[in-house]
Amino acid sequence: MSEARTAGCACGAVEVRIEGDPVVMAYCHCESCRGWLGAPIHAASLWPTPNVTVAKGDDRLAVYKRTEASHRHFCTACGAPVLIRHPAMGLTDVPAGNIRGLDFAPTIHVNYGEKVI
């Protein structure tokens, strides 16, 4: 098991602690991720949900549930995306660009049929 990592929002009000290693790292091309992040592609890192805990600022997190498959949590102070819970899969996606010290090495593109670039 690797060391714990941290991630968080842009303003620092929310901090997430991540234990262990990701189950998968991927590029997601879906319209939902693109719209939420305002980017043409999402660098996703999925972790077992019990391995991702909010260490600071739980009271600053709000959730947007576009579907029951993806619960998108963001900071109410700065609006930055913090994590995406996928309850049916038992996984939590922490945007890879927010994780300090993560060597992002995606092995798959998902929802490639929706790509825009």
Q: What is the pLDDT, as a whole number, of residue 111?
A: 84
Pair type for strands 61-67 and 108-110: unpaired
**CA–CA gap between residue 87 and residue 37 (Å, rounded):** 20
**Which residues fall within 8 angstroms of residue 99, CB to CB, at 6 or more apart?**
5, 6, 7, 18, 45
Could you list the pLDDT tens digit for every one of the 117 residues in the chain? Answer: 567 999 999 999 999 999 999 999 999 999 999 999 999 999 999 999 999 999 999 999 999 998 899 999 999 999 999 999 999 999 999 999 999 999 999 999 998 888 888
* Fold adopted by 5-114: 2.170.150
Q: What is the pLDDT, as a whole number, of residue 2?
A: 66
Of 90, 87, 42, the closest CA to residue 63 belongs to 87
The one-letter amino acid code at 59 reads D
